[in-house]
Amino acid sequence: MLLTAADYRPRDAEHAVLYRVIDEHLEAFLETAKGQADGSPLPQFVEQEFRDFLTCGVLAHGFARLRCIDCAFERLVPFSCKGRGFCPSCGGRRMTECAARLVDEVLPRVPVRQWLLSLPYRLRYLLAWDHGLARAVLGVYVRVLLGFQRHRAGRYGIRDGRSGCVTVIQRFGGRIECEPAFPHAALRWRLLR
């Protein structure tokens, strides 16, 4: 079903609670972060994510004008921040698009099991800032997990098959700290060739 012009309702970004809280307290938060025990401010990309969020869905920060060629109806659509951190609109859209692509185009119709690699605190900080190291650790984890699956599948008589997996590296924890984790969806049994 296609949406008509009457069905589309732009969100009111500036009146959302999250927007108002960040808009009102961002500068104080950034100053507080600078005053922490180690004296280092938040990483620039974190501050930029906050600032970009405050422009997301706000007409004053840019928009596209759309015009229907049949009825000449016009609508202004505000630009989005395309943030990867905490913008509910952009994050929700990205998550939905990614899930739809995985289900429709990537993953076969076989059982999938979710795994999670959680690391000791001392390693988390290193992996949060060193993408190459995070990829290397993930590579070891995937090899071990797929080897485990290969061994288990062999016990069930499945030979010469392949398995697959999808991992999205998350770089946050429940208290907004930088804590990399590796949620991982693995095909439950090896696929027959």
Ranked by mean pLDDT, the top range of 44-48, 111-115, 152-156 is 44-48
Q: Residues 39, 83: contact at Cβ < 8 Å?
A: no
The answer, yes or no, to whether residue 128 has pLDDT greater than 70, is yes
Ranked by mean pLDDT, the top range of 19-28, 145-154, 165-174 is 19-28
The answer, yes or no, to whether residue 157 has pLDDT greater than 50, is yes
- Amino acid 193: pLDDT: 42
- Amino acid 64: pLDDT: 94
Q: Which of 129, 130, 133, 118 is nearest to 40 (CA)?
A: 129
- DSSP conformation letters of 89-135: HHHHHHHHHHHHHIIIIIS-SS-EEEEEE---HHHHHHHHH-HHHHH
Q: What share of the chain is helix, strand, coil (3-state, %, to 5)?
A: 45, 15, 40
Q: Residues 126, 133: contact at Cβ < 8 Å?
A: yes
- Amino acid 144: pLDDT: 92
Please compute Rg for the chain using Cα positions.
Answer: 22
Does the CA dihedral 86-89-94-100 come out positive or negative? positive
What count of other Cβ atoms lies within 10 Å of the Cβ of residue 61?
A: 14
Is the pTM here over 0.75, yes or no? no
Q: What is the pLDDT of residues 158-193, one digit of tens each?
A: 887 778 888 877 766 555 556 666 666 776 654 444
Domain map of the chain by residue range? Answer: 1-106, 111-192
CA–CA distance from 133 to each of 103, 120, 125 (Å)? 29, 15, 11
